[in-house]
Structure 1
Amino acid sequence: MVPSGQLSPATRPDLPRPEIEILELGDLTPGTGPPRPFLLDADLLVLVTDGHGIAELDFRALPCRAGTLLRATPGQVLRSPTRLDAIVVRWRADALRGLDVDPAAVPQHHQLVGEDEDAVINEVSQLVVDHRRHRDDPAAHALLRHQLAVLLIRLALLPGAAQARRTPDDADPQRTELVTFHRFRREVEAGYPYTRRVEDYAARLGCSVRTLTRACLAVTGRSAKQVVDERVALQARRLLAATDEPVARVGRQLGFPEPTNFGRFFTREVGVSPGAFRAARDRPPSRIGRPRRPADPATPDGQA
């Protein structure tokens, strides 16, 4: 069993955040009333220890019960509308500096079973115990960093994650499209607040719009323009759900000087107006819009 009880308290805003923290799920969204969507500013691992229901990650309802693992990254929106007991490991990016580990290889949503569940629970339990005993001792920082790295490596070796890590060999006819798609996604991630023109991304990558569209269709079944628009719409949903920024300001942040243009774009992509989407954030998950499926390649069983 994962140790429970006194975990580290929620971080005080007037103090620097530690490299690694151990929290409970309720620490992320303190207060009374229905849990609001929470915009993450650090990497998280969530291990559900009791209860069953759902957790929302970027507006996707993920089934959870004891042994469910969630991985979330900065910028995503998390909400747990049902009561779940869970251990949360939160860390800053520099906590893994110099260590040969890739958190992106950890599945976003995985149900642990059998020996994998036992091994992960043991790793988390030891990290919780050592964090509780040594978090204020600078000499123990290396111990906690390496324990986190070992945990992430173990999670990256889970069956579904191992399958997702496989990359096409040089003989695979889809290799070029996959590489182009991932390069395109990286450019979109950096540039979506400034441009939605596929021509701009093609120029940055030194290829044609046709090449980008062919790659996106091969990997996701959607055009390059749809991939860009879906990323902008995702960020709009995040900001509308997890902040109180005025709708017009959210639109300006995403490159829409005119609120009416933002409203039309959002309604087309999400299916409801920005105001209606924001009003639904305190309702059950089924009432918070029906966005398109994210522009990600298909993932194997056991992952989100």
Structure 2
Amino acid sequence: MVTTGQLPPASRTDLSRPGTEADQHRLTTVALRELVPEPGWLRPVLLDAELLILVTGGHGTAELDFRALPCRPGTLLRARAGQVLRCLGPHLDATVVRWDAETLRGLDVDPDTVPAYRQLAGEDEDAVISEVTQLAVDADRHAGVPAAGSLLRHQLAVLLLRLALLPTVEERSVPRPEAETFARLCREVERGYQHTRRVEDYAMQLGCSVRTLTRACLAVTGRSAKQIIDERVALQASRLLAATDEPIARIGRRLGFPEPTNFGRFFTRELGVSPGAFRANRERPIPIRVVRPRPPADSPAAPGRA
């Protein structure tokens, strides 16, 4: 076991090699700088894997889905595939654990119970640093060993369970029926936001009334069901505008706007700037108005998490 409270310099370790269990369960440890193709994080990166990021040195800011999060040693970030990330700050270093959707299949752990942001301290920080370090060391030491994939999967599960059990800021009390309805709506929106923004369509899918959906959303977030749906569409548009070079009209079509003018009006209403202006400013830290990250679709308690 490595010494608690100390992390060695992170190095890339990839276990998805022929003949190992990681062929189906890809899990890697990398340094923060390896997440971006060019130095400087000139613009956000669209993530294609699940991440845990443990800051080990320096001070700066992480922009996760356009939300600015202060970072210093002991900061832990949980980022999901499909989100956009940019880290800013001189000499900001971190160890990154990266895995795909199949890595934890069959294990009794839900990575979405881990908050997106946490500043660790004391014994909790020591324990998490120790486990992340051990995972990185084992990944390097046992690379190519058939049993290594299973070992790392279980180490990751233990780490996520530990993080889920850490004390959290007290969340607003929400009646269980409203929380469950909101969670169901979030799941449906994730599946359907590219095809419809009508609350009526989601109410029909869920077998409830528009009033029920709106009441649930107001109880959990303080915003209406229509606002929740439109925010999810605007968030996806923002991700694609900031992290890709896909033409604006094509992004609009992907999100259900056949006419570019309609997409432009929608985006400007939601964010206060046009799609073109948003893209032109994507190399600047955090736009003036930002889209709030949506809670995990299967986590009713998510709105209270930082």
The TM-score with structure 1 as length reference comes to 0.89
Q: 1:100 to 1:186 in 2, by over 3 A?
A: same
Q: Give the aligned partner of residue 290 of structure 1.
A: 289
Q: 1:256 to 1:108 in 2, by over 3 A?
A: same
Q: How does 1:68-147 map to 2 (within 5 A)?
A: 68-83=75-90, 84-147=92-155
Q: Structure 2: how far apart are the matches of 1:130 and 1:117?
A: 20
Task: Confirm whether residue 186 of structure 1 aligns to residue 193 of structure 2.
Answer: no
Contact 2:220 2:303 in 1 (8 A): no
Q: 1:49 to 1:295 in 2, by over 3 A?
A: closer
Task: Confirm whether residue 38 of structure 1 aligns to residue 45 of structure 2.
Answer: yes
Task: Confirm whether residue 22 of structure 1 aligns to residue 29 of structure 2.
Answer: yes
The alpha carbon displacement at 1:139 in A equals 2.1
Contact 2:47 2:84 in 1 (8 A): yes
- Gapped regions of structure 2 (runs ≥ 5): 1-5, 18-22, 296-300
The alpha carbon displacement at 1:35 in A equals 2.9
Higher mean displacement: 111-120 or 211-220: 211-220
Please list every run of at least 4 consecutive aligned residues from structure 1 whose deviation after the TM superposition is greater than 2 angstroms: 5-12, 32-35, 291-300
Q: Give the aligned partner of residue 257 of structure 1.
A: 258
- Larger helix fraction of residues: 1
Q: How does 1:152-163 map to 2 (within 5 A)?
A: 152-160=160-168
Q: Give the aligned partner of residue 176 of structure 1.
A: 177
Alignment-mate amino acid for residue 132 of structure 2: V
Deviations for 1:70-117, whole angstroms, at most 9, x for unmatched residues?
000111000012231000000012111211111011111000000000
Task: Confirm whether residue 54 of structure 1 aligns to residue 53 of structure 2.
Answer: no
**Secondary structure, in 3 states, of the residue corresponding to 2:197?**
coil
Q: Give the aligned partner of residue 230 of structure 1.
A: 231
Q: Give the aligned partner of residue 8 of structure 2.
A: 3
The alpha carbon displacement at 1:275 in A equals 0.4
Q: Structure 2: how far apart are the matches of 1:33 and 1:126?
A: 29
Alignment-mate amino acid for residue 188 of structure 2: E
Contact 1:220 1:295 in 2 (8 A): no
The alpha carbon displacement at 1:6 in A equals 3.6
- Gapped regions of structure 1 (runs ≥ 5): none
Q: Structure 1: how far apart are the matches of 2:36 and 2:65?
A: 16
Q: 1:132 to 1:250 in 2, by over 3 A?
A: same
Contact 1:55 1:64 in 2 (8 A): yes
Q: Structure 2: how far apart are the matches of 1:9 and 1:241?
A: 28
Q: 1:104 to 1:6 in 2, by over 3 A?
A: closer
Higher mean displacement: 77-86 or 291-300: 291-300
Q: 1:61 to 1:114 in 2, by over 3 A?
A: same
Q: Structure 2: how far apart are the matches of 1:9 and 1:186?
A: 32
The alpha carbon displacement at 1:298 in A equals 7.0
Contact 1:35 1:81 in 2 (8 A): no
Alignment-mate amino acid for residue 26 of structure 1: R
Contact 2:14 2:27 in 1 (8 A): no
Q: Structure 1: how far apart are the matches of 2:283 and 2:101?
A: 31
Contact 1:50 1:66 in 2 (8 A): yes
* Cα-Cα RMSD: 2.3
The TM-score with structure 2 as length reference comes to 0.89
Percentage of identical aligned residues: 67
* Aligned residue-pair number: 290
Contact 1:271 1:291 in 2 (8 A): no
Q: Structure 1: how far apart are the matches of 2:158 and 2:121?
A: 19
The alpha carbon displacement at 1:32 in A equals 3.5
**Secondary structure, in 3 states, of the residue corresponding to 1:272?**
coil
Deviations for 1:39-73, whole angstroms, at most 9, x for unmatched residues?
11110000000001110000000010000000001
Q: Give the aligned partner of residue 272 of structure 1.
A: 273
**Secondary structure, in 3 states, of the residue corresponding to 1:238?**
helix
Q: 1:17 to 1:76 in 2, by over 3 A?
A: farther
Contact 1:3 1:128 in 2 (8 A): no
Contact 2:51 2:80 in 1 (8 A): yes
The alpha carbon displacement at 1:284 in A equals 2.6
**Secondary structure, in 3 states, of the residue corresponding to 1:55?**
strand
Q: How does 1:241-256 map to 2 (within 5 A)?
A: 241-256=242-257
The alpha carbon displacement at 1:289 in A equals 3.7
The alpha carbon displacement at 1:136 in A equals 1.8
